[in-house]
Structure 1
Amino acid sequence: MKRNILLLISTVFILFSCSSNTEEVPQSVNITLKFTHNWNGTPVTASDFNTIKFTNKNGEKISIERLRYVVSNITILPVDLSNTSLADGVLGFGVTRNFINLKEKEGLSLETFAFTGIKKIGFRFGFSDFENNDGIYQDLNSANFNVPAMLGGGYHYMQFDGKYLDTNNQEQPFNYHAIRAIDKTVTPNITKDTSFRVDLGEVNITGDAEIEIKMNIAQWFENPNTWDLNKLNTVLMPNYNAQLLISENGKSVFSLGKVTYK
């Protein structure tokens, strides 16, 4: 019921913002959001897992064993609403969140809808603090995507795991996990919402379409912070500063891909 109310409110806002020109009445169309993954342009799928075959900016050779993450408050909004609270995910249009699990090929395609016209597409990586509450998403509970209470509770934003070759050319694990940052070295503990808004740019939607959302996995290790896996590899969840760095690097990870009309 809550979701239906949000969709209705979003629809009213969108219709209200449209031109009064009756010759250009927006039409509702079906949209497929397709999440793809690459390493600096080379496609990455589950078939590429568990093999040392990628090299990060710091020069470490790595493998990928798991990559799963959540995006929330997906919005497809008119340009003139893109700087309002709507674009920050207070009210979404079409869908509210998506859990992507590359290894299991889950969440790679998401069906929603939108109105025709020039729209801005975006989402939030992870959950805002308002939505990041313990136990409320049953699918994420079943996937063991929860964060322990001692680390602030709520949910992961991402679990990215694999192996890297250390300075002795030996395989070592890394657990590049993104959560709400918590500093437990002070009392009371300091927490910081490290989720962030991703704005993919404008699309002129003219009919039923598939819209590609690309993740460049390599960017998690390089922009703006060059990541040294020999120093930051495991136990990153309780590391307040590491979580800030992860959040900064994530802001260049996603981009708009191909738009294909059906």
Structure 2
Amino acid sequence: MKKIVLLIIVSILIISCNKNDDSNNSAVTPTNYGVDFRFTQNWDGQEINNSDYENTTYVNANGESLTLSKLNYLISDVTYTSSADGAIWRAQDYKLVLGRDGDVNFTPAIEIPEGTYTVSFTFGFDDFDNDKQGGFPDLNSADGFWNVPAPLGGGYHYQRIEGKYINSASDQTNFQFHTIRANRHETLPPGPGTLVELRDTSFRINLGNITAGTNTTIEVKANIAEWFKNPVTWNLNNRFQVLMPNFQAQLDMNLNGQNVFELGAVTQ
């Protein structure tokens, strides 16, 4: 009888220990959080506010004086790459930034665990998204129309900057600085059947490592002066309008654009 009682007690203790071990070893599901982005615009460090449009004069790297009337651009596919294990979290959405709205806030439609990540996004749409012609109804009617005519390759604009500048004859002239996919044509003006090459000129912006937590806001600063500066010094007298079907101009915009965006303040 004593042996039976002893066996029962030992069994109870083993079961109890196993339950405690299971409880201690159970995986804890991490809490995920959304990350907010704030897009701001500046001209070589001078903040661009709504009151500056059509009023404040800027001087580009080529020495031309200009004012801005429009500053709109598209970003997409915000991506977080975990510094701990390389896991990738990709938000497959987009934001049309309208500069005259001031600081533009955007929360990508994805939540991530607290941790350190390399954060990046695409300027414009890559070919995969651009080929969804008509697939983004809100963009089809945004800013007049954000989609690109079929003879120019279809898809969507990446950016529209517009304003006025003082040309070499000292006359005030309208300029349009629109970025789309680079498109080469047999003859100009472009028309049905003239397109011979279409090249993706969207690009990825890497903001570096950022620690994300419960209430993180990431500022992305766009220095608009860089579009006209580096590495191609932009001469508005030669390139001020009809840039969408200009293959080389779009390639040069791609080069300059990669120096426009940088990480600003990160708040928690």
For 1:79, the equivalent position in structure 2 comes to 83
Identity of aligned residues (%): 38
Rate the CA distance shift 1:38–1:23 in 2: closer, same or farther, 3 A.
Answer: farther
- Partners of 1:248 and 1:259 lie apart in 2 by 27
For 2:160, the equivalent position in structure 1 comes to 159
Rate the CA distance shift 1:22–1:33 in 2: closer, same or farther, 3 A.
Answer: farther
For 1:13, the equivalent position in structure 2 comes to none
Matched positions, count: 233
For 1:142, the equivalent position in structure 2 comes to 141
- Partners of 1:131 and 1:201 lie apart in 2 by 24
Moved over 4 A (4+): 21-26
Q: Which runs of 5+ in 2 are unaligned?
A: 1-24, 188-193
- Partners of 1:140 and 1:45 lie apart in 2 by 24
Per-residue deviation, residues 149-196 of structure 1 (Å, max 9, x unmatched): 111111101011111111122111111000001000276611100001
Rate the CA distance shift 1:166–1:206 in 2: closer, same or farther, 3 A.
Answer: same
Which of these residues, 60, 64, 69, is aligned with residue 65 of structure 1?
69
- Give TM-score scaled by structure 2 length: 0.81
Which of these residues, 126, 129, 146, is aligned with residue 127 of structure 2?
129
User: 1:117 touches 1:205 (CA, 8 Å); kept in 2?
Assistant: yes
Whether 1:257 and 2:264 are equivalent positions in the alignment is yes
- Quote the RMSD (CA, aligned, Å): 2.3
User: 1:26 touches 1:117 (CA, 8 Å); kept in 2?
Assistant: no
Rate the CA distance shift 1:148–1:224 in 2: closer, same or farther, 3 A.
Answer: same
- Compute the displacement of 1:24 (Å): 9.6
Whether 1:234 and 2:241 are equivalent positions in the alignment is yes
- Partners of 2:221 and 2:75 lie apart in 1 by 13
User: 1:37 touches 1:216 (CA, 8 Å); kept in 2?
Assistant: yes
Question: 1:171-182 maps to which residues of 2 (within 5 A)?
Answer: 171-182=172-183
SS in 2 for 1:238: coil
- Partners of 1:188 and 1:69 lie apart in 2 by 25
For 1:109, the equivalent position in structure 2 comes to 105
User: Which structure has the bigger radius of gyration?
Assistant: 2
Per-residue deviation, residues 119-166 of structure 1 (Å, max 9, x unmatched): 111100011111103211111101100111111111101011111111
- Partners of 1:188 and 1:215 lie apart in 2 by 32
- Partners of 1:162 and 1:246 lie apart in 2 by 17
User: 1:176 touches 1:233 (CA, 8 Å); kept in 2?
Assistant: yes
- Partners of 1:188 and 1:223 lie apart in 2 by 29
Q: Which runs of 5+ in 1 are unaligned?
A: 1-20
- Partners of 1:77 and 1:29 lie apart in 2 by 15
